[in-house]
Amino acid sequence: MKNYTSELLEQWDREYIWHPFTQMQEYIKDSPLVVERGEGSYLIDIEGKRYLDGVSSLWVTVHGHNKKDLNSAIEEQLNKIAHSTLLGLANVPSILLAKKLVEITPPGLNKVFYSDSGSTAVEIALKIAFQYWKQKDGGAFSKKIRYISMGEAYHGDTIGSVSVGGMEMFHDIFRPLLFDCVHVPAPYCYRCPLGLAKPSCGMACAQAVEEVMAKSHHEIAAMIIEPLVQGAAGMIVAPEGYLRRVRELCSRYNILLIADEVAVGFGRTGKMFACEHEGVTPDLMCLAKGITGGYLPLAATLATYEVYQAFLGTHSECKTFFHGHTYTGNPVACSAALANIKLIEEERIIGGLGEKISFLEQGLKRFIGLAHVGDIRQKGLMAGIELVKNKGTKEPYLWEDNIGHKVIMEARKNGLVIRPLGNVIVLMPLLSMSIPELDRVLDITYHSIAKIT
């Protein structure tokens, strides 16, 4: 017997919850969508209404909601133990998962440090990079304390990850709290920050990275990058070869490369990891979101042995990495991740993505005919549709136009849950989504944009 009604839940949601990235004064005016269940590609609300999940529940869901294999793996582990600490103890699923992650990530990454969210995975990579240079070769490189990151970057919301972020809207107010960071121009070809155009630009944005490195490498610990796609910036897709070039430059200038695969990892770009597209092994790799297929919070930061060994020494040498969260390496979350990867492998999910990716690509083509669609960017099953006030001049909609929000609310009325990034409508279907479902996502999105803009 339920001790609540849908009306009460809506009321309590407005009354008690402070939603993330949400202007609450506006939020409480609308009727909230209260999700109660999930089934495959669908979210089901408390009234039983079904919505296609067009953004994989914030880029996490891989095999669909309420998947039996994942539920069972979690249940099985729960019946053994829910949690034991990784500080000074080990547990079975975290060991098995670490071994698996080392096997499936680019060769050379062979140590796994667990945490619980994308932001913490990034925070850990930044701290490891910093401490690495302090300890390497008896401190010979201890002046390497700064980071290079991309304009428009998004790496999370903790102070360290915000420091390497490049989105003014999210980060500006916290500026006095943040550490200094060198930003290089984003490869945002539709609105090139260098005022150039492809292909005559000769990838000048990569040249800008080289200039910064040549000048400042003595003080740079690491460069952090979202490989191939800058997700939160509005699905900015880097030109082919950009990532490889950054890898070469980092090696040449003795700078660690941190690949933040939090959004792009686990198949979203069409390969298991985005770095694979360009044959790149970073020195540190951050994973989260899709790692458990969207079932439980878990993150991992992988490091090469070269990085790891700088932390080895006797107890009294104090080279230990003094970092760890209470739920680090949680066995239930690790079991979910193991089951997720097993399914990806057994069901040959990555190999089967080609058809869906092409379908999405074809389906997106007609959007460019809409009066207010300025640019369409896609890599794998990640897509961004940039809405503009004026197509000819690329004049953007203003913040107060709130155009993205209006479009997604229209889509919601028609049974599709999507979420905008400013003026960019994001589509990030589940890897398991069927072609007819994908078709419906495209159709609702198209008509919602056409109606609102």
Q: Interacting stretch for ligand PLP, rule CB under 6 A, among 81-89, 239-247, 255-263, 372-380?
A: 255-263
> Is residue 289 a known part of a binding site?
yes
Instruction: Tell me: does residue 155 bind ligand PLP (CB under 6 A).
Output: yes
* Smallest separation, CB 224 to ligand PLP (Å): 9
Q: Interacting stretch for ligand PLP, rule CB under 6 A, among 183-191, 258-266, 331-339, 431-439?
A: 258-266
* Smallest separation, CB 219 to ligand PLP (Å): 24
Closest among 356, 447, 448 to 403, alpha carbons compared: 448
Chain position carrying tokens 């970073």? 282
Instruction: Tell me: does residue 372 bind ligand PLP (CB under 6 A).
Output: no
Q: Which of 117, 269, 304, 423 binds ligand PLP (CB under 6 A)?
A: 117
- 13-52 CB burial, b ≥16 within 10 A, e <16: beeeeeeeeeeeeeebeeebeeeeebebbbbbbbeeeebb
Q: How many residues bind ligand PLP, per CB under 6 A?
A: 14
Window 259-298: residues binding ligand PLP (CB under 6 A): 260, 262-263, 288
Distance CA 247, CA 437 (A): 38
Instruction: Tell me: does residue 151 bind ligand PLP (CB under 6 A).
Output: no
Q: Interacting stretch for ligand PLP, rule CB under 6 A, among 90-98, 112-120, 249-257, 404-412?
A: 112-120
> Is residue 260 a known part of a binding site?
yes
Residue 244 burial (CB count, 10 A): 15
Instruction: Tell me: does residue 122 bind ligand PLP (CB under 6 A).
Output: yes
Distance CA 413, CA 4 (A): 24
Shorter beta-carbon distance to ligand PLP: residue 122 or 221: 122
Distance CA 364, CA 353 (A): 16
* Smallest separation, CB 395 to ligand PLP (Å): 27
Shorter beta-carbon distance to ligand PLP: residue 262 or 343: 262
In three-state secondary structure terms, 111 is: strand
Q: Which residue type sits at 136?
A: K
> Is residue 56 a known part of a binding site?
no
Helices 68-78 and 331-346, packing angle to 10 deg: 150
Q: Which of 54, 151, 156, 165 binds ligand PLP (CB under 6 A)?
A: 156
* Smallest separation, CB 60 to ligand PLP (Å): 9
Instruction: Tell me: does residue 422 bind ligand PLP (CB under 6 A).
Output: no
In three-state secondary structure terms, 146 is: strand
- Beta bridge partners of residue 241, listed in sequence order: none
Query: Going by C-beta distance under 8 Å and a sequence separation of 6 or more, which residues neighbour residue 448?
Result: 407, 408, 410, 411, 414, 416
First and final CA of the chain: distance in angstroms?
45
Distance CA 237, CA 378 (A): 7
Window 211-250: residues binding ligand PLP (CB under 6 A): 226, 231-232
Instruction: Tell me: does residue 119 bind ligand PLP (CB under 6 A).
Output: yes
Shorter beta-carbon distance to ligand PLP: residue 154 or 253: 154
Distance CA 131, CA 96 (A): 27
Shorter beta-carbon distance to ligand PLP: residue 110 or 117: 117
Q: Interacting stretch for ligand PLP, rule CB under 6 A, among 3-11, 111-119, 249-257, 339-347?
A: 111-119
* Smallest separation, CB 369 to ligand PLP (Å): 30
Shorter beta-carbon distance to ligand PLP: residue 46 or 121: 121
Supply 293's token pair. Answer: 């297929």
Closest among 21, 294, 345 to 167, alpha carbons compared: 21
Shorter beta-carbon distance to ligand PLP: residue 203 or 228: 228
DSSP 388: E
- The CA-based angle 164-168-173, given to 5 degrees, is 90
Closest among 255, 335, 312 to 135, alpha carbons compared: 312
Shorter beta-carbon distance to ligand PLP: residue 128 or 388: 128
**Beta carbons of 264 and 59 less than 8 angstroms apart:** no
> Is residue 445 a known part of a binding site?
no
Instruction: Tell me: does residue 123 bind ligand PLP (CB under 6 A).
Output: no
Binding residues for pyridoxal 5'-phosphate: 118-119, 260, 325-326
Binding residues: 118-119, 154, 260, 289, 324-326, 419
- Contact residues toward ligand PLP (CB under 6 A) are 117-119, 122, 154-156, 226, 231-232, 260, 262-263, 288
